[in-house]
Structure 1
Amino acid sequence: MATRLRTTQRLLSTGTWDYSIPRDHIQWSDSVYDMYDTTPDKFGHDFEAYAALIHPEDRAELREKFTDFMASEVAHLSFVHRVLHPDGKIAHIAGDSEKVETPTGVVLRGVVRDVTESVGAEAALSQATRMLEIAGNLAKFGAWRYDVKADLLEWSRETARIHDEADGFSPSVMGAISYFTPEYRDRIAERFRACLEQGEAYDEICEVIGAKERHVWIRTTGEAERDDSGRIVAVQGSFQDVSELVHTRKRAEKSEKLLEIAGQAVKLGGWRISLPDQAVFWTEGVAAILELSEDTTPTFTDFIGYFAPHDREMTRAAFDSCAHDGIAFDIVRDLVTVQGNRIRVRCLGEAVRDQSGKIIALQGAIQDISELTAAQRQVAELSSRLAETLENIGDAFFMLDEEWRFTYLNSRAEIFLNRSRQDLLGQCVFDEIPDLIRLDAKHQYEHAFDIGGTVRFEQIFPPLNRTLLVTAHPTHSGLAVYFTDITEERRRNEQLRLLDAAVAHINDIVIITGTGDPETGGQPKIVYVNDAFERITEFTREEAIGQTPQILHGPKTQAAELSRIQSALDTFSPVRTELINYTKSGREYWADIDIIPIPGENGVFTHFVAIERDVTERHLAEEALRLSEARFRMISQAKGNAVWEWNLSDGHQWWSHGMTELFGHQVLPDGALLDVWDAHVHPEDKARVTHSFDQLISGQCNEMRDRYRFRRADGSWATVEDRAFAIRNEDGRAVRILGNISDISERLAMEDRFRQSQKLEAVGQLTGGIAHDFNNLLTIIMGNTELLLEKLDDDSPLRQYADMSAMAVDRAVELTSRLLAFSRKQALQPKVSDVNVVIAGLEAMLRRTLGEDVDIRLIRSADLWQTEVDPAQLEGALLNLAVNARYAMPDGGSLLIETSNVCLDDGDPMPDSDLNPGDYVAISVSDNGCGICKDDLDRVFEPFFTTKPVGQGTGLGLSMVYGFVKQTGGHVRIYSEPGEGTTIRMYFPIYSGSRVQAAPRVASMPTDHGDETILIVEDDDLIRQQLSVQLSDMGYDVVVATAGAAAMTALQERPDIDLLLTDVVLPGGMNGRQVADAAQQVRPGLRTLYTSGYPENALVHHGRLDRGVELLNKPYRRSDLSSKVRKVLDA
């Protein structure tokens, strides 16, 4: 049994081994020793002895594998290594081992095999495979195989590359078919299906599109693979990139097509005759020449038979000579086609030999040259005609070759040169006529050769004393020269040149035309124009010649004048006219035109000469003069100006009717008016005006512009502006002066009023701002003063100081009230009022205030219209005016207050106001006091301006009246003369609604206590503190905030707040009105009371409080605060 096992192991190159790990001992079977080429005696039986037998390059790897295996839990190990035999041969050993537990410890037990032969076979197979792949790459040849059972398609590496896919890519069958272009996809699918189902092999050339969109032409084959039973188990085949082959074929086909087209174009065909059987092959071109069908099969006899009978034997002889002796031929013969048409052909042939030199065929070409032959015949005929023509032309003509030798002369050249052609032909032209060298003709001839083009030059030929025009033209064989005698032409041209130069340099336009052309309706065409024509009309000479003079006509060209000119031309009569012509750019100009007919040598008129002078400037000057006269008439008649002219030579002065219209001075019918400046210029201005005129006359200035006072006919003075300039003669001396006087009195008055209005507006802005800040301070002072008066006993020594402070505060409040009134910043509370009622209520106070020495009269108009006005402010204004009047009457006098209805229409508005036309209620306050001087009258409405001594007036009384009336929408006028008294009239717009009855005044009982909760919003710390104390003393619960955000927070936290008391101007981005609006969103219906030094535009619009707004103006008394708060809470 052991012997059999050993034998088997040797036959199978297999052996067993055991390795005891604890004893480090290896036991091999006999066949293992053979594998490692050792014996039991030589082998050391431990692991290191075993490792020593391993190939050095594999030793470390094997040792690492065994070490890892013994240290791991893995039970099985496979390995392969090489063994280097002493004779240099290498054996490949493969082994398997496993761990086995024995009583003595762990043992590795395994099997080893000699796999040298299989490794060698695999290497050879790999090399063969690689060589096959290289061959496939070079041939762009790949393979594919489809396993039917596994439904798996496999591609070789080259097949994948052709499809731009990675090595190992394996598509489905439908995926592989999708690479084919649409025109081949169905066909390939059908062929593959037939091969798979019926075993039909296929070989196709198709186009595929790779993964990278690359188009590739491929050749693909497919065949079925069957098993032993004949069943198809697979389909396999090849893939080859044949793009280069396909493109080459297409190029060849295209070349063949182009060759065919070229052959058709030149009527050329090819032929070949095989020897010795004389079989004939020819191309379609030969069949076309012979008018045969393409499928005709000719014989050699037929081929020769198509040549014309008289050429047939000579043609056969040429073919025979070529066939026997290899002599090529190129012959021209007549040929008769199948259709009987005789044509001329060129036939070429040559012998074709094999490798031994034997003639095996003839080949050549045949071309239809009938058209070429006809053309050559025509050329010969033309040459003959040309020679005949050259003989008979009037100019001398000869031809030279490249060596300057005569090759041809016509008879005219013989006569001109006085030499016969027999003497000159073949001779050098410069040897026979040496004067040509001196006359630069040789240089000109050489230049013609150099440029390869025609050269023309003039030449004086001394032997004949004639001027010649020489033309030299290079040809393919030499130089053609012909010359013309232009002696008489030069003489005439010189005369014409002088005439043309003279005409060209004149400034007038010269146009020469024919006498008429039927193509232009009888209109003559231009044949000549001079330089002045181009300069003035902007048309070039080339543009004008051939046209008619109508190119100069345009929209304003006078039709009547054109008709008159045409009538003159029809009878060949001279004519002169002035016409509006146009330049090329469309600019019109006036032309003074003379047209004269010119007869020819036979006396018949052949041309017209027109001379045009540009008279545009003269016409413009005449038109300008007419316009100037018309404008002067219009200016002199214009309203608002007085135009005058002063003739310095005789002193005569002319004035337009403006003198009467503006100033009332009557002028004579001829416009004369004497001594204007002496009689009417203001004495204070006369010296300055005289000096200005002296400067203008003497030339010290070019224009006089002065402003002075001028007396009107009614004796009043007008402020005028006088502008004048002098007209001078050639010596520069002034001979006339023209001028224009304008009355600028009204304009100056309006400018003064505008400046005054701006001044008052600026002061109003300033005073309004001051009053606002002052009111905040007065609020604190007034509150503290009232508190002191309440706390101090009547007998307190400080009581008198508190009273003095209260009086000062009252005066300050009145002062700020007047400032606000002037600046129109006060919040008015207008009511529909009957002014008569207001004045009646004020009468008792006026009498007490003014005293008994002032007689007060009230004239109240019946049916007085009502107006919307603040009654309190109106009473204050009237009281102010009455007090001012009392001051103007220190010894007593009379005061008249009068009311009236006033209607102002467009013609009535006061010139010094912005009062619009309409209906007004007027209140006049008049006194008979000392009056006001003019200088003070312009300033009476300025704040702080007063005529009273220092300490007796603030200067705010009239400014308050002015501001109040303006804010109400009305106007104030003042009339005064020193010593005559003063009248101030106030205008108020009427109320347009239904009449309102005045409500009787009811005295209100102040209530200074309450228990509601009031939210105070005030940014001034002192005012907020004082206001809080006052309201708390009145019994109210007070909550304070410094800005809008804090107020909103308080409203959300305190639902019991009954009243919002807020300043109008607040910091933090929200004013008082915005705080109130926001509070209504949180607490609808919350009562609001505003307080402000002046509310600007937050509560007041058009000078009036917004509807429903309650305002407490700063500064206010405790009683005002108490009653206002109570009123709002009880509303």
Structure 2
Amino acid sequence: MASNDRARIDAIARYGILDTAPEAAFDDVAAMAADILDAPMAMVNFVAGDRQWFKAAVGVGWNDLPLDMSICRQIMLKPGVVVVPDLTLDNRFDGNPLIHAATGLRFYAGAVLETPDGVPVGAVCVLDTVPRPDGISVRQERTLKMLAAYTMTQLELRRTTALAEAEAARAEKRGQRLALLTKGAASLLEADDAATMIHDVYALLEEPFGLDASFFYTCSDQDLRLVASAGLTPGQQRQAHRLEFGKTICGIVAETRTPAHLADIQLSDDPEAAFLRTLGLDAYLGAPLIHDDRLLGTLSFGRRGQAFSEGELGVLRTLIAQIATAIGRLRADDRLRESEARFRNMADHAPVMMWVTGPTGFCTYLNAHWYDFTGQEPGTGEGYGWLDAVHPDDRPAAGQAFATANAAQRQYRVDFRLRRADGVYRWTIDTAAPRFDDDGAYLGYVGSVIDIEERKVAETELEARVAAALAEQARIEETLRQAQKMEAVGQLTGGIAHDFNNMLAVIIGSLDLLNRRVDNQDARIRRYVDAALDGARRAANLTQRLLAFTRNQPLNPEPVDVDALVTGMTDLIRGALGADIVMETVLADGRWHVLADASQLENVVLNLAMNARDAMPEGGRLTIVTRDVVLDDDQVAAFPGLTPGDYVAITVGDTGTGMTAEVIARAFDPFFTTKEVGKGTGLGLSQVYGFARQSGGHVAIDSAPGRGTRVTISLPRQTATDPARSQGDTTAGPAPGNRGEVVLVVEDEPAVRQFSADALTELGYRVLSADGAATALRLLETHPDIALMFTDIVMPEVNGVKLAQEASWRWPGLKILFTTGYARDAIQQDGIALIGKPFTIEELATRVRQTLDG
């Protein structure tokens, strides 16, 4: 466990997220989790060290907790989404004051935040002060997973950005140091004496390196003499004026010809460093100035504060070496010739490509490193030949930038791709400083070229990762918006259909009763009643289509051989297509079955075939293909709620006019149609969509204008453990006789209650009515002869299911028949008697008789 804690702490440290300010991206995650899971509290938290810290929180008045009060610490032991319906019943949280307080936390649901290498660092979770025995829905679980994945994407993006910025900062610092070397080299070339040279270098380095002191000694046989210094008082200069070889640090450097680098001088008791301590220095670098194996003197730099870094030491050592060369140049007899040789020697051994131009911009010198890097023949890069090694696409901009800077006699900097000796182009940065003589006349440039390919690659990779993360975020958001839209439309449509079913139950039932009383001799009345019944049944069919879209139609799932179903429909479909359309089927040999409502599946296939027929007014080919498919995580990602696994796919394709992308986007919306007015309700494809989703599958459209359309509905394969659920047989049975049984009708809708009572009375039963659970229980107590309770499921205060549970417990022999117009109200368990609204008197007679004879 300790190693796991260490790995988690290290992972969180890499992200640099702890104790940072609120950010909109994480606040949105917490807000969305609270909203979608309907929870008063939500948070994005991290468990680190001895505490739990919240990066974002909704409904919480604190931003961290001691580790012994953390719920997520225990939850993180299990990856994925973890749901605890009642925290007080879980012994992992015994003694936790947040849970066992009078108004403590009771419910928890969270998705663990895992790094790409599987280290849990926290969770996206919601909390409630009341338990939720039913846990969360599949959609809510999927949302938590998506929010956790989005949170980790944000963290990875932060880390990648930080790494790239750090690398860019290091590259920038290297560039700055190389620029200092370039400027230092330029100042060494221009100095006429050693003291001026040392002062110029110190002035160049004082601010960027934070220098506080410098010493330049020249030497004779066994003596050092101070020639130039910085940061010393007159008294300190007198004290340091002369040194003996082997005495003090500078004397030891001169005697041994070995550089000395000291750190934490103030903590040292070295007697040779006593003078440095009196100056208050903490860090020191002293080096011998050696040229042509001759000791010319020593040069030292010191500062207060932190020690010199390796990068700073590299610059100082390079400059010291260059200074030694420059001093040697100044001491030579032939100043001009020696200056040329020394500079070339220095530049050719520099770690960067260096170059010099005259005032016209004509290049007069390129160091050896340039020719080694580019593979150009020595001398060919002079003049404007250096441009030949620049990438053709970058050459015009590079040449123009140089010409413009040279004309203005100002500093020059440009990025371009430079051809390496092996033919590979690499990104470089070219910088230069103008040179002027004592009279201010412009002499041209001294510049350097640095390979920055690694930095460019890092920047490109960062941009690609950011773009990919933003694209993935946009895709997830669009998928979520589409699912939420379809869910909202489904809820609205389902509610309308529910109310319609109640009204249609009254209309159809009343017409049924009227039909029984109409004199057969009056043909007109009979015709009017039949026409009204036909219209009501059509309205009921329309309502069923609405319920199909909302995935709330009562289904009768059973094992279905899809190939056999399609084969059995072939003649029916061919007859409906007409002579101009050729039909063919390609079947998968029926290896896999599905668990679905066979009649509804037939309607779906027929509906798709008729749509295909309408899309081919001039004739064409209709193809029905069945196949067994296995869908993986990537394939189901575009369909919220779908799980990977085995599916049976039915594809209905045509060679018709096809659809545009805009039409495909709205094809499943209820009442959307491209047909003429009166040629379609716009519920065909929405019914297909609703049936597929209610059956645990999905439907997809592949189409383009002029390319025809292929609609594929995929349903889960039936496994050996799938129960063949049934809502009960609704085929007509024997009509009940007048047996005098008593039936109690419980219905809060007055019109439906009256019709049901009249229908049952017509059928020969004695009927009692109740408008709710309280009245029903009183009637049951006073009428022990009630044989059947016929109750609606959805009622105010106490619904039909709870009423039935109470009645069954008190009167075990009581038979119960449920009714509903909305599948969400239906009871999904075997052996329950149920009749859907609207129903005819014959259907009611059959179901009542079957229930009583149970």
TM-score normalised per structure 2:
0.48
Structure ranking higher in helix proportion: 2
- Larger relative contact order, structure 1 or 2 (CA cutoff 8 Å, min sep 6): 2
Instruction: Indicate the structure (1 or 2) with the bigger Cα radius of gyration.
Output: 1
